[in-house]
Amino acid sequence: MRVALFVTCLVDALFPDVGKSTVRLLERLGHEVVVPSAQTCCGQMHINTGYQGQALPIVRNHVAAFEQADVIVAPSGSCAGSVRHQHADVARKGGDEKLAEAAEDTAKRTFELSEFLVDVLKVTDVGAYFPHRVTYHPTCHSLRMLKVQDKPLQLLRAVEGIDLVELPDAETCCGFGGTFALKNSATSTAMLEDKTSAVLSTEADVLTAGDSSCLMHIGGGLSRLRSGTRTLHLAQVLENTR
Amino acid sequence: MTFLGMPAGGGNLTGTPFPKAARGALGDDQLRRNLAKATSTIRTKRASVVGELPDWAELRLAGAAIKDEVLANLDEYLVRFEEALTSRGTHVHWARDAEEANRIITDLVKATGTREVIKVKSMATVEIGLNEALADAGVHAVETDLAELIVQLGNDKSSHILVPAIHRNRTEIRDVFRREMAGVDPDLTDDPRALAEAARKHLRQKFMTVDVAISGANFGVAETGALVVVESEGNGRMCLTLPRTLISVVGIEKLVPSWRDLEVFMQLLPRSSTGERMNPYTSVWTGPTEGQTSHVVLVDNGRTATLADPDGRAALRCIRCSACLNSCPVYERTGGHAYGSTYPGPIGAVLSPQLTGVDKNPTLPFASSLCGVCYDVCPVAIDIPSMLVHLRSRVTESKRATPESTAMRAVGWVMSDSRRWSRLIRLGKFGRLASRHVPLPGWSSARDLPLPPKQTFRDWWESR
Ligand code: SF4
């Protein structure tokens, strides 16, 4: 299958390894990966901070960038969620009905990585090998906006050598929330503290999730605590082989 | 969109900006422990009783549909309701806002000559600030709901719509009782039963002597003019039947079309709120009992204005169950006072700004990480996260240029074109901005930032 990678702005600029792992993983599974160069960002930060008007050209750019793609895969639950649940609305509110329809069409072709692997490709064993103690945080947008359910866990369970441990209160938000972490930093920090202590209680070597943004936040907290737990995106765990 | 002439909501709907109020609460360890314990207990109970109903999803949609139908034809339902009430001898009053409602109620109370009224727990009266208005008129209002009484005696503010004293533990409650309750046993312990008994004694004397009662209503049935109060302690029932004058204060969104519709809500509400299959007491009355005078005050206070916004009106479906509060990670850490309004938690964050106008509550729509758990648990399926996003837009649009809006505009300009975007990240500006050496206020207080990579994904892809 020819897969268009929606790499997301955060991965492009700050976490290129997540993008590389996603490419390698998809290629290993026998698919052709293309990266439409016109892409930038889904505009979620603008939308969620109350700048829908300014998100409109970003949405327009995104829709145009992926117009030709048969199937679009993003290593991010929240960006896939934004495409799926916010883009058409932004276009409609901006008075562009044609764009709204095109955005609905893009939404239908867009998948978060674990959804794509499990629902579209119908694989759970991607042939990965990762001999470490790992715990998984189901990020809010993957969990509730996209309802990925236990797809990431199905993939992780099939990894050879993995010691998968359950994260206490896993479904509680880590407190990132985009600009929420800045606007309500004290509250966000209180939420982060509970999340990092839950992570530490698992004694995992690696915390994994399907969103680089949440991992950046939790990883930032773990690093401040000088804890030995690393954060790795789901794609990075799944890319590993013997 | 607000039309001229639509009354804006007043009363207890505005307070200190959320981030500031939250900081105070976050520093209070006792409060955080009380909240975490109470909310986690009730979350577990709710989940288990909701899980028992195989048709929960359908019930929830039915609840939403009934409420939407009422909201879409509210004018007609209200007239029908008024006619039904009047035909059975209840006097109906209409109040545009908090001030008018308080004036109507105060006048009614004063006309009876009483200096004291007993109250059934009612959010609407807290919203409009009725107790304060009555006090100004020399009338003392006695709360009969146990938790509301604790708040009142402690000279405190409610911090939860169902459990107003959720932020207090037993020892704190005992201290309030010992200090404030006339004639209480000075050796009162913090045993829940002893506390309840002390309250009961205190209240019984009021039930027997006070002649005017003020209630709210969980539902009003348009077809028959029935009012419904759902409660756990039975004190409400005492208030509704004994006094000679009964004044009920009802938000105009509280209607359901017919008696049959209640069936849906009587399944949704108790399970969502207290985690019980059914609440202990449900009182329904369709008019005054013999020898009683009854009044209903229908309150707008910003509801019509809320109704006028197609993207915000679903907030009026709310049946005040408090499931969204109990599941919200922000509420759990900050408590209800941080929201500065009668309505805290996720529903407060969307309802209060709409009732008052967003300019009076500009920080509330941002008091959420948009984790979405409130939507999942809401028994009438209010999509609170999407509504928050919508209201955030209304806040930013109502403001003039700010440093934030300028930055957003600049970033937006870059992100709407891939050449600009790749040039920016190649320059490493994004990376440098994000590096540890430039502190990002609020962020670097608790978390390290990742170091920017040497090569962007884009560069790697092209070099491949
Ligand atoms: S918004 Fe929904 S969950 Fe929250 S109090 Fe209202 S009905 Fe309950």
* pLDDT tens string B306-328: 999 999 999 999 999 999 999 99
Location of each CATH 3.40.50.10420 domain in chain B = 21-305
Q: Do B371 and A49 touch (CB under 8 A)?
A: no
Distance CA B75, CA B82 (A): 11
3-state secondary structure of A119: helix
Instruction: Answer whether residue B429 shows pLDDT above 60.
Output: no
What residues of chain A lie within 8 A of the CB of B18, using their CB? 184
CB nearest to B447's CB, from A9, A144, A220: A220
3-state secondary structure of B281: strand
Question: How many A from CA of B192 to the centre of ligand 1?
Answer: 28
Question: How many A from CA of A81 to the centre of ligand 1?
Answer: 24
Question: How many A from CA of B374 to the centre of ligand 1?
Answer: 8
Q: Is residue A83 one of the residues assigned to a domain?
A: yes
Structurally, how many domains does chain A consist of?
A: 2
Task: Look up the domain containing A157 and give its range.
Answer: 133-239
Instruction: Answer whether residue A180 shows pLDDT above 60.
Output: yes
Instruction: Find tokens 């670097």 and name the residue.
Output: B444
Distance CA B345, CA B365 (A): 11
Do residues B117 and B134 lie in contact, with contact meaning Cβ atoms separated by under 8 Å? yes
Lowest mean pLDDT, pick from B248-252, B377-381, B400-404:
B400-404
Instruction: Answer whether residue B2 shows pLDDT above 50.
Output: no
3-state secondary structure of B442: coil
A138 and A224: one domain? yes
| Closest chain B residue to A8, measured at CA | B457
Mean pLDDT along residues B163-176: 87
Q: Ligand 1, from B123, B320, B352, B355: best to mutate by most atoms within 8 Å of Cβ?
A: B320
Do residues B338 and B28 lie in contact, with contact meaning Cβ atoms separated by under 8 Å? no
What residues of chain A lie within 8 A of the CB of B448, using their CB? 219-220, 223-224
Question: How many A from CA of B191 to the centre of ligand 1?
Answer: 31
**What is the pLDDT, as a whole number, of residue B430?**
53
The one-letter code for the residue type at A175 is G
Q: Give phi and psi for B324, each to the nearest 5.
A: -70, -35
A168 and A194: one domain? yes
CB atoms within 10 A of CB B108: 18
What residues of chain B lie within 8 A of the CB of A149, using their CB? none
Which of B306, B353, B311, B348 has its CA nearest to residue B74? B306
Q: Is residue A206 one of the residues assigned to a domain?
A: yes
Do residues B418 and A65 lie in contact, with contact meaning Cβ atoms separated by under 8 Å? yes
Q: Please work out, in degrees rounded to the nearest 5, the angle formed at the alpha carbon of residue B75 by the alpha carbons of B74 and B80.
A: 95
Where does a domain end: A89, A120, A151? A120
CB nearest to B418's CB, from A19, A40, A190: A40
pLDDT level of residue B431 (50, 70, 90 thresholds): low
The one-letter code for the residue type at A121 is L
CB atoms within 10 A of CB B209: 10
Q: Please name the CATH architecture into which domain B21-305 falls.
A: 3-Layer(aba) Sandwich (3.40)
Ligand 1, pocket residues at CB < 6 Å: B 272, 318-324, 347, 377-380, 382
pLDDT, tens only, A190-240: 999 999 999 999 999 999 999 999 999 999 999 999 888 999 999 999 999
State chain B's mean pLDDT as an integer: 92
**What is the pLDDT, as a whole number, of residue B211?**
93
B53, with CB counted inside 10 A (0-12, 13-18, 19+), is middle
Distance CA B68, CA B171 (A): 44
* Helix (H) or strand (E) segment spanning residue A63: helix A52-65
A160 and A56: one domain? no
Two structure tokens written together for A231: 């954060």
Where does a domain end: A120, A142, A165? A120
3-state secondary structure of B7: coil
Where does a domain end: A93, A120, A147? A120
Instruction: Find tokens 């920080």 and name the residue.
Output: B363
Distance CA A24, CA A89 (A): 34
A104 and A182: one domain? no
A115 and A186: one domain? no
User: Is pTM, for the whole model, over 0.90?
Assistant: yes
Of all residues in chain B, what percent carry a pLDDT higher than 90?
A: 71
Residue closest via CA to ligand 1's atom 6 equals: B318
Two structure tokens written together for B177: 């009782």
